[in-house]
A = this chain, B = another copy of it.
Amino acid sequence: MSLTQIGENAKQACHKTRKLTMTEKNDLLKKMAYALVENKENLITENKKDLDAAEKNGMSKSLVDRLMLNEKRILDMADGLLKVAKLDDPVGQVLSMKKMENGLTIGQKRVPLGVIGIIYEARPNVTSDAAGLCFKAGNVVILRGGKEAIHSNTCIVTIFKETLAPYGLEHTIQLIEDTSRETAREMMRMNQYIDVLIPRGGAGLIQSVIENSTVPVIETGVGNCHIFVDESANLENATEIIINAKTQRPSVCNACETFLVHEAIAAKYLPSICRRLQEKEVEIRGDEKSNQIIKNIKLATEEDWATEFGDYIIALKIVKDIDEAIAHITKYSTQHSEAIITENYTNSQRFLDEIDAAAVYVNASTRFTDGMEFGLGAEIGISTQKLHARGPMGLKELTTTKYIIYGTGQIRN
């Protein structure tokens, strides 16, 4: 099917999807979940084709693991859809309504965004998760996954389409089966058909979408997160938080990449925190001052300050005071998640006010930046841009608003 045809189908589907009631949407989400379970053997067979191709192409072990579907993972995907069915529906919520002097009643109502494009890489669970969230918020979705997962993705979307077809909703979830770069580029310029594009994947993918898309984009994901241990910090807390933020899951975007320590406590604190990190096999790359205190660490390069390691590596810098900490973070931060560990009231407030990031923490691990942890119930990604959504995005962020105006014949003077 041509991209234009997919776009036309999506536009047509919008009108139907917008009219679904909450009950209808939730019932269909449940049917989609059951259909995944019923077709699990078929899905495992199709996934096997992707795995075989991956092996032939020498894909790394960790990527193959992300690609792999087994019974448990299929049940998890189905469970995800059931959970989404249970979430509050943001559509139709009236955010404000007021009577104006001229008698007009003006309200602002939450409505679906329309057509959402998702461009992602090798994880087939994104197909199910993203489709479920977009559907629940009354949207039509056009998915474009990586070629590595094409058999799995096609199978999942076919299962959904077969579930939705009896209700005339088969175009609500569509997959672009042509995984070429040219087709992805073309998709990024389908302003006529797509209201918003959400890339999910590595920095390369996201950068390519930002560079090439004329469709509005929600940028997700990159996180060069910092933790600043202030002079007054509770050092036990500081240590637990740094260990957690670095080692609990180093590959994710809310993991800590650099920690900054106030110079007044550096000599006292660094030996213990560095030992704890090294026990967890974390490589430490420190500035010159910290290298004078701790002998068995590496010297950090300028590049290290700007790097999202995504691995068991952490950068370390000793700072004169909170001003130097804020200046360093402002310079290198990707504005994802930043934390201060302090018992000083003024410094806690200054950090919250002056650090420009999606999530700013006092005395907690940066790892909490997540839709589930923030109580959104689900997450389509973490926005690191400032337009529309910032931080974890749930169902609400998959909607827009419209003004609704009730008149009695008013004209403008």
Contact = CB atoms under 8 A, between A and B. Distances in A.
B412 A401 contact: no
B191 A364 contact: no
Which of A113, A234, A375 lies at the interface centre, i.e. has the most chain B CB atoms within 10 A of its CB? A375
A93 B363 CA distance: 23
Contacts of A114: 356, 386
Interface stretch (A14-22, A162-170, A277-285): A14-22
B410 A358 contact: no
Interface stretch (A37-45, A59-67, A72-80, A212-220): A212-220
Given A18-B353, A196-B387, A363 B402 contact: no
Give how many copies assemble into the complex.
Answer: 2
A273 interface: no
Contact of A104 (B19, B100, B364): B364
Contacts of A217: 216
A106 interface: yes
Given A15-B330, A411-B248, A405 B368 contact: yes
Contacts of A88: none
Contacts of A14: 356
A408 interface: yes
A185 interface: no
B375 A98 contact: yes
A409 B15 contact: no
Contacts of A330: 15
Interface string A348-375: 0000111011111111110111000111
Interface residues of A, number: 69
A390 interface: yes
A405 B214 contact: no
A240 interface: yes
A343 B57 CA distance: 66
Given A368-B104, A373-B412, A410-B368, A405 B362 contact: yes
A321 interface: no
A190 interface: no
A391 interface: yes
A402 B356 contact: yes
A411 B244 contact: yes
A216 B387 contact: yes
A407 interface: yes
Contact of A400 (B363, B387, B408): B387
22 contacts: A104-B368, A106-B374, A111-B356, A210-B214, A211-B214, A216-B385, A243-B411, A244-B412, A358-B402, A360-B403, A360-B404, A363-B407, A364-B407, A364-B410, A368-B405, A369-B403, A373-B412, A386-B400, A387-B388, A390-B402, A390-B403, A391-B403
Interface of A: 14-15, 18-19, 98, 100, 104, 106, 111, 113-114, 191, 195-196, 210-211, 214, 216-219, 234, 236-237, 240-241, 243-245, 248, 330, 352-354, 356-365, 367-369, 373-375, 385-388, 390-391, 400-412
